[in-house]
Structure 1
Amino acid sequence: MSSSVKKTFTGTPPAALAAKVRMLGPTMTRSMQRVAETVAGDPAGCAVLTVTGLAERTGTSEATVVRTARTLGYPGYRDLRLALAGLAAQQESGAAPAVTADIAVDDPLPEVIVKLAREEQQCLADTAAALDAAQLDAAVSALASARRVDVYGVGASNLVAQDLAQKLLRIGLSAHAHADPHLAMTGAVQLRAGDAAVAVTHSGRTLDVIEPLRTAFDRGATTVAITGRPDGEIAQYADHVLTTSPARESELRPAAMSSRTSQLLVVDCLFIGVAQRTYDTAAPALSASYEALAHRHTPRP
């Protein structure tokens, strides 16, 4: 396992607390989940509690409270209390967004529009708040200097993989997106040190994405995972893990658009970062691609 997988989140700002609870909650033990859900649900009330007081309120132990604080990205419980006070102040001022309610089968379409729009806003805000800038910076450096970049994704995630490969290709990088698992493996065995591979999988356990990334990892390429489950198997073979907001799927919304929206935000962050690092070559390449495609547009009357 790479050292980056063992890395814990640090320096989490107050605005990211609710996002962290939603994103990391499924990976916690039940007792830790109780602590996390309690502090996110009542930050003002929990901010005044000692570690013993919060343990008593949640029916857990002091050790569980401390472990939860560290899992959420705080060095200790004191730091978590400071974040809770900040979150409480945001909620009082109306700055903290509310979680969107699920869509019901009898919701009128105007209400569906509002709910979906709020859902997308929430997922983007959660992803931005929880995205590890140090991991992103390292991933950008790897892509910017790579001899070749392979991107893996299947199903809806392949649309995101294709988007990343296309963006990198237009600024002069050698980038390929593989949806077919056989082609992905064929490409992965050709990678070596100095190359990079990016896996896009919301669940973190899609075998057709895990296997080529593991092969790329074993071959010495720098590997990046864009996933909603940083505890998923994919993280074992990723030098850098970029976490997206978990999709709030329901009976009416399997493979919710929000998961792809979060992934596309990370893709855009990667692309902008790479374009900045390689601007001297990226700008002319982008200009050339625009010119090459200009004649393909329908002329205006």
Structure 2
Amino acid sequence: MTHDLKESFSADSPPAPAALAAKVRTLAPSMTRSMQRVAEAVAGDPAGCAALTVTGLAELTGTSEATVVRTARLLGYPGYRDLRLALAGLAAHQQSGRAPSVTADIAVDDPIADVVAKLAYDEQQTLADTAAGLDTVQLGAAVAAAATARRIDIYGVGASSLVGQDLAQKLARIGLIAHSHTDPHLAVTNAVQLRSGDVAIAITHSGSTVDVMEPLRVAFDRGATTIAITGRPDGPVTQYADHVLTTSTARESELRPAAMSSRTSQLLVVDCLFIGVAQRTYETAAPALAASYEALAHRHAPRPR
């Protein structure tokens, strides 16, 4: 990718059946209501929808054939026929037990044991969805840029700021200059200092957080390599990103909004990015990590009396 503003998200190749449900969850919030009805239908009953013609699915969802085709293309398939094949594959996965059906939302009166079971399932599914949908070409390019960066600035607010701090701490422990900025004013004033050879990383589940987008835009304009970690691959933040790393999110509920559940997938992407950088800089990263472990060990050692 270049610094040219990019078009809306589209996959280079159709997603695998196992990744279809994750794609629906990721893109549904940015769809029109009629397209959402189609997406929800295919994700909720892949076997039933796989048996329908384009006309049948349009009638089932109260939409038009054109809407069904547009939804299929937005999900990454050349046409409805390709989507039907993916639905048949997803149905086969579910019937074999490799893709369990979605559990119910957490209710206010759920026993704590049920809460634990539901959260564990959602977390597991979120990680699997994120891994299935993560573009490893984009990840590799982001790793290459970060591994050779003079300086790395990370932007995030709210729950995403915690993920940004985690990444900055990891990178610092292998000897890289990395800073996490949570104050939007300081983020912008620091972004002004960036240039070619630097890296700026924006973490925003919604893809439209202004306090995160603005410093990334400034970094983009200054010539830094920019990376967006977002749950909305067609969100406005991506127009200022050279590389986009897409996250998935556990199902949102009244007790667990998207901003909270997004941390799981963001942390997975951050860990993948960090490990990739550590691999590329192993000769310097390994001694730096060893030195940090030793320093902490001395700090926790019992003091002489």
Q: TM-score, normalised by structure 2?
A: 0.90
Match for 1:8 among 1, 10, 19?
10
Cα offset, 1:299, TM superposition:
4.7
Give yes or no for contact 2:197–2:225 (8 Å, CA) kept in 1: yes
Does residue 288 of structure 2 align to residue 285 of structure 1? yes
Deviation at 1:251, TM superposition (A): 3.1
1:145 Cα deviation (Å)?
2.0
The letter for the 1-side match of 2:229 is I
Deviation of 1:225 after TM superposition, in Å, equals 1.1
Aligned 1:1-301 pairs, distance under 5 A: 2=4, 6-9=8-11, 10-254=13-257, 257-299=260-302
Equivalent residues of 2:6, 2:239 under 8 A apart:
no
Look up the SS of the partner of 1:150 in the other structure.
strand
Deviates more, 1:56-65 or 1:179-188: 56-65
Indicate if the aligned counterparts of 2:251 and 2:258 stay in contact, CA closer than 8 A.
Answer: no
Q: Distance in 1 between matches of 2:110 and 2:49?
A: 35
Give CA-to-partner distance per residue, 1:266-287, whole Å, 9 cap, x none. 1011111112222222222222
Alpha-carbon distance, 1:78 to partner = 2.8
CA distance in 2, matches of 1:52, 1:79: 15
CA distance in 1, matches of 2:39, 2:288: 47
Tell me the secondary structure at the aligned position of residue 198 of structure 1: strand
Percent of aligned pairs sharing the same letter: 78
Map Cα deviations across residues 159-179 of structure 1 (whole Å, 9 max, x no partner): 100111111111222111111
**Cα distance in 1 for residues equivalent to 2:116 and 2:145:** 39
1: CA distance between counterparts of 2:90 and 2:45?
A: 10
Q: What amino acid is the match of 1:63?
A: A
How far apart in 2 are the matches of 1:114 and 1:279?
A: 39
Conservation of the 8 A alpha-carbon contact between 2:148 and 2:197: yes
Which runs of no fewer than 5 residues in structure 2 stay unpaired? none
Query: Take 1:30 and 1:84, find their aligned partners in 2: how far apart are those partners?
Result: 21
- Corresponding letter in the other structure for 2:236: E
Using a 3 Å threshold, how does the CA distance of structure 1 residues 84 and 254 change in structure 2: closer, same or farther? closer
Count of paired positions: 300
CA RMSD of superposed structures (Å)? 2.1
Contact 1:25–1:36, Cα closer than 8 Å, also in 2: yes
Q: CA deviation at 1:184?
A: 0.9
Q: Name the CA shift for 1:249/1:34 in 2 (closer, same or farther; >3 Å).
A: closer
Q: Please list the CA deviations of residues 137-192 of structure 1 after superposition, one character each: whole Å capped at 9, or x if unmatched.
A: 22112212211110011122111001111111112221111111222112100001
Alpha-carbon deviation of 1:131? 1.6
Which stretch shifts more, 115-124 or 290-299?
Answer: 290-299
